[in-house]
Structures are given as C-alpha cells and as structure tokens.
A and B are shown apart, each in its own frame.
Chain A
Amino acid sequence: MPTTAPTHAESLPDGAGAPSPLARLLRAWDSFWFTPSDGLGLHVVRACTGILLLSWLLGFLGHQGALFGMDGWVDRQAYRELLGLPEGPPAPIGWSPIFLASSPWFAHLLYGGSMLVLVLFTLGIATRLTSVLTWLVVIAFTSNPALSYGGDVLLLILSFYLMVGYLLYGLHSQPRSARNLLLGSRDAEFFARWRSSDEGRTKSTAATIALRLLQIHIAIVIFVSGLHKLQISVWWAGLALWFPLFPPFETTLEEVLAIKESGQPLLLMFAINIATYAVLAWQICFPFMAWKNGARPLVLGGAFLGWLGCSLLFGLPLFGPALLIGCLSFVPGTTWRRWLSRTPMPSETPAVPQREPLASASARG
C-alpha cells in the first residue's frame, strides 16, 4: 500500500504525561508492523527468490515426469500406500496442484507453465497474480513425500510471504483501476523506480507487513533449528562438521589414520569444534541480533558462510541460498536504495553518445 502518510506510530493517542508501558508497547507494535517502508526491500527479496526458484526448477529439466509425475519415482499406488500407513507418510502429503498430473504430458505442461510464471514473477510483472501462482508452483514441486527436505520448506516460506506482500501491495493507496487490482502495482517491475529520487512514491505498509512476517518466521526457523541441534549428540559435542568433512563413501580408514599419524588430530578437532559451535552460536543468537543494525554484517556474513557450508560441505543445494534470502529481508529498502545507487547501471551509460538538447548547446554558444 504505497503511501506518503507519516509514521502511524506518531499519530497514536497519547496521554498528557509520560506514556504508560502499555501505550509504549502499543506504539512499538504499531511502529513495527505499520510504518510504511521502501518497497524496494520487498522487490529485492522477490527478485532473489525468483532467481533461486528458477534455478531450482531448471535443475529438474528433463526429469520432471520422473520426479513429480504420478507414474514417476513415487507413483499413484505408492501415494495410496503411504497414506494408508499407521504412522503416516514420511512427510505430510496434503494437497498439491501436481496431483492433477494424471498423465506425463500434464506434468510437462505444468513444468513449462511454472517456468513461465517464475520468470514473470522474478521480473515483477503482474505480481498480484504471479505471486499467487508462484506459491502454487512451489507447493506443486515440493509435494513428493519421499523427495522433500528442509530446503523445500524454506522455499514455501519465502513464496508464501511474498504472495501476502504482493497481494496487498498498492491495494490501499494506488488508483483502483482494473489493471492495478488484478495484476498489481507496476512499482514492482524489475528496475522500475529503483533509482527514483522520490522515495515517498514507493513507501508501502504492505511491504512492511510482508517483510515483518517473513523476518519473524525466518528467525523462528533458525532459532528452533539451532535448539534442535543441541539435542543431537554430535552437535553438542562439537563434532557435527566431522561427518560431512569425511563422508562414508568418500573416506577410507587409511585416510583417517593418516591424519592421526600426521600428529595434527588435536588441531583438526579443535578447528571442527570451533566451527561447529560457531554455527550453533549464530543460530541461537539470531533472534537477538537480527533486528539490530550494528549486527547486520554478522547476520548477513553468517548467512553467506552458511550458504557455502550447506552447499559445499553438506551437499544441500537449497538450504543456504534460501536462508540467505531470508536474512536479506532484514535489510531495509532504504539501505538497498543506497547500495544500489552506488552501483552503476547499464541503462545509465548509453552505448551511443546522446545529442545535447538544442537549448543547452546554444546557451553555451
């Protein structure tokens, strides 16, 4: 809901004297959720999520029928049997558009259509519509109970809150034309107004609400996952990173014994302990530093290292980038605008020298 209105917290009723704790709490709540923010923050998260979703889905090209079709790795009969298990399927099955894919060609059609939707969403075209479709696409391709994992869960979180944001974006303040109501604001289009000097035009309460929801959910995910790790002996003992460093099928006993003979096992274990506890500390401290401007390098730096670790060490392709995008949601839109304004854009350096306006040329004589 782009608006130029002042901060709503300022307009809250106030007593004659010092505000009561309840009034202060209400004001802080109101300021947290309803202060209009630069929509650029939401657009950056959307563009990054779109690129991630595109690369994720593109990775299945040629295998979409096998991975997601009803005659694929998990076929219709297996779905029925998994649903009939007393303990239930390995992961909740629920509903999904992919269950309509009764024939292989439908799975291919759905895949092609999904790629198109993701391209449009990434570019910010018709976001009111494509954000909903993007959420459905993510649901469709994360429904396989045997092949889903934690990274898929993060994709669902990102796409859901982006959908909430773009369903509301521009609804309150912009002209209620049929195009705006159905397709959404054009502010969201790629690069549109990113460099606008008139920041007030992109201030949006919808962006604030969506990003706040996403931030809190991401903080819950990181914090709870950190606490869960404490229940696991290898994390508690600071040994968890040993196992991905020496995976069973790629490590021989001789290689491990060679480390012992090199005389450096203590040094190695010390490094593994430090790295493991650093992961735990970052996760458990996350909610206490995520909203502090001063801790932003720690939040983003930790998320970036987490990306590298998840991808290179654990072989988990989605976890790292999805968490990093979640952490990027903590960067305010105004900060993005400042960062982007320092980056020269191709559109600003025309390939062909432009002709000077006649008036200025003549003024210089």
Chain B
Amino acid sequence: MNPIPYWLRGVVSLLAAGHLGAVAVMTLAAPSGPWAVAQGADWATPPQLAQFGAEKVGPYLDSLKMTHNYHFAENFISSQPDGGPDARFRAKLLDADGKTIDELTFPDPKAWGTVRHRQRLLARALAEDELVVPTEGEMVPAANQRVERVLIWQMGEGQRGAVKAVPRHLVPRDRPTLGPSRSSMILASSYARHLLRHHDAAAVEISRTSRPSIPPDVLFLDGVPQEAAFDDSTVTFGETHAHDGTDAR
C-alpha cells in the first residue's frame, strides 16, 4: 500500500488547521459577563479581532451546526448568574365560559426523564426576564403614531402578577421593573397553541412560578433570614384563545 502523498497530507493539514482555527475563533468571540452596570447587568462585547474572525467563519460553522462558543448556559447553574431562581410552569385549560377544565404542571413528575428535562428547559426559557428601563421624561409620539409600549410584570398581592403593556415612560421609576423577554412571550403563546390543538379547550392560560435559590450565606448569618425572601413568585403570560393563533384549530 502506498503511503499518502505529501500533497494530500498538505491539503488535509490545511483543512484540519482551518477548521479547528475557526472553532477556536468562535470561542474567543464570546461576550463576557454579565457584569454589573448602572441599569442592572449587561454583557461586554467580545474582542474586536475575534468578532471580525467569527463573522468570517460564521457561515461555514453554521452550515456544520458548530457555532457554539462553549460558554454553556448550564455553567450558570440555574440559568442565572448567582444560582438564581428555578422555574416551573402551569397551563390552565379553560372552556368558553372561562371555567377551568384542567390544569397541567410542567415539568411533569410522571413524564420520562428525557422529556421532563426538556420541559425544564422550556420552563427556564419562560423565566428569562428582562429589566425594563423607563425613559427619562415624557415621550411624545410622532403624528399618527402610538407611544412605544413595553411589557412588564405588574405584580400584585402575594408575589402574584401578570403581564401588562404600558407606555415606556410610565414604567415605574422607584424600583427595578422586570418584564418577560420577547422570546419567552413567543414560546408561551406557542406552547398554549400546542395545548389548544390537542385538548378540547377554548383558551389556555400559561403561568410561571419561580423560586429563588437559598444562598450558602444563610449558614453564616447571625440571625435567621425572612422566609418571605424565598417565597414563590407567580406570573401569568395571559390567555391564548383558540381563535387567536393562526395555527390553532
């Protein structure tokens, strides 16, 4: 058997080095953070050189599905920087009169481990809130335009709340205000449509319950922390009706 010719070894070497170099560039182009900034937490931009390189090799790695930078979200433990809240979600199936037909909880303890894990992933995707920053002063919209509205969690009694659209300049300024991320709203609606397709219900209401982690500092505090600090917080994404979704039957 003839050994592999030198020219072929050269070509393979170039391909291997180019491929692995592209992978390495993509890992360098990861934003760092989140770092504490005036408006909560934010991500720092990656090195410009790496970012430039990543833009060049991105399409190649995208075709191979290898664009991950290996800064795994799982490294954040509960998807939050400080081992923050864990989340579950509940779907309430409603009939035409608004009465509850059934209530489903996810992750479902009866589901297979692999399915339960995916339900947990969806629950955490629904728990990705964003800090909503109010504008300075009043906003005057252009002629025939509406003032910009943003979604916030309007909290009520007992750590319970619901999503509400408010003009950006009316976002409370006396405290940090959180709202659902756009992707979590999309996923909540999508899951509701999925349930509507498979259950005989007129509407579905998705609500999310999150509970903060108990930090290890508790072990070394002089006193006992208030139990309310670790209470559940439940928010609803609103109702999705069977006739709302384009795909809903």
Query: A residues 123-174 with Cβ under 8 Å of B?
Result: 139, 142, 146-150, 153, 156-157, 160, 172-173
**Per-residue 0/1 for B207-234: is the Cβ within 8 Å of any A Cβ (1 yes, 0 no)?**
0000111111011100011010010000
Residues in chain A near residue B83, CB distance under 8 A: 234, 239-240, 242-243
| Distance A149 CA – B70 CA, assembled complex (angstroms) | 11
Tell me the smallest distance from the CB of B127 to a CB of chain A, in Å: 11
Contact check, A225 vs B75: say whether CB atoms are below 8 A apart.
yes
Residues in chain A near residue B4, CB distance under 8 A: 1, 8, 34, 172, 205
Say whether A251 faces chain B, with CB atoms less than 8 Å apart: yes
Q: Which of B23-31, B46-54, B153-161, B165-173 contacts A (4 or more CB under 8 A)?
A: B23-31
* Residue in A77, A139, A225, A251 whose beta carbon sits within 8 Å of that of B190 in the complex: A77
Contact check, B66 vs A157: say whether CB atoms are below 8 A apart.
yes
Tell me the smallest distance from the CB of A10 to a CB of chain B, in Å: 10
Contact check, B216 vs A71: say whether CB atoms are below 8 A apart.
no
**In the complex where A75-B247, A213-B20 touch, is A5 in contact with B122 (Cβ < 8 A)?**
no
Residues in chain B near residue A307, CB distance under 8 A: none
Q: Which of A16-24, A85-93, A336-344, A345-353 contacts B (4 or more CB under 8 A)?
A: A85-93
Say whether B99 faces chain A, with CB atoms less than 8 Å apart: no
Query: B residues 1-43 with Cβ under 8 Å of A?
Result: 1-4, 9, 12-13, 16, 19-20, 23-24, 27, 30, 32-33
| Distance A251 CA – B191 CA, assembled complex (angstroms) | 29
Contact check, A94 vs B65: say whether CB atoms are below 8 A apart.
yes
- Considering residues A220, A243, A316, which has the most beta carbons from chain B within 10 angstroms of its beta carbon? A243
Contact check, B70 vs A225: say whether CB atoms are below 8 A apart.
yes
Contact check, A72 vs B194: say whether CB atoms are below 8 A apart.
yes
| Distance A363 CA – B50 CA, assembled complex (angstroms) | 76
Query: A residues 198-254 with Cβ under 8 Å of B?
Result: 205, 209, 212-213, 216-217, 220-221, 224-225, 228-229, 231-235, 239-240, 242-244, 246-249, 251, 253
* Residue in A71, A76, A257, A317 whose beta carbon sits within 8 Å of that of B117 in the complex: A317
**In the complex where A5-B3, A73-B122, A147-B122 touch, is A209 in contact with B16 (Cβ < 8 A)?**
yes
* Residue in A29, A71, A212, A233 whose beta carbon sits within 8 Å of that of B194 in the complex: A71
Contact check, B218 vs A317: say whether CB atoms are below 8 A apart.
no
* Residue in A89, A148, A248 whose beta carbon sits within 8 Å of that of B85 in the complex: A248
Tell me the smallest distance from the CB of A96 to a CB of chain B, in Å: 8
Say whether A277 faces chain B, with CB atoms less than 8 Å apart: no
Residue ID in chain B nearest A173 by CB atoms: B1
| Distance A316 CA – B114 CA, assembled complex (angstroms) | 9
Q: Which of B133-141, B144-152, B179-187 contacts A (4 or more CB under 8 A)?
A: B179-187
Contact check, A257 vs B224: say whether CB atoms are below 8 A apart.
yes
Query: A residues 96-146 with Cβ under 8 Å of B?
Result: 139, 142, 146
Say whether B82 faces chain A, with CB atoms less than 8 Å apart: yes
Say whether B118 faces chain A, with CB atoms less than 8 Å apart: yes
Residues in chain B near residue A246, CB distance under 8 A: 213-214
Say whether B76 faces chain A, with CB atoms less than 8 Å apart: yes
| Distance A322 CA – B232 CA, assembled complex (angstroms) | 35
**In the complex where A76-B247, A256-B219 touch, is A224 in contact with B118 (Cβ < 8 A)?**
no
* Residue in B72, B77, B112, B245 whose beta carbon sits within 8 Å of that of A150 in the complex: B72
**In the complex where A224-B27, A225-B70, A248-B214 touch, is A209 in contact with B12 (Cβ < 8 A)?**
yes
Tell me the smallest distance from the CB of A134 to a CB of chain B, in Å: 13
Q: Which 4 A-B pairs have the closest CB atoms?
A: A59-B114, A243-B83, A78-B190, A265-B219
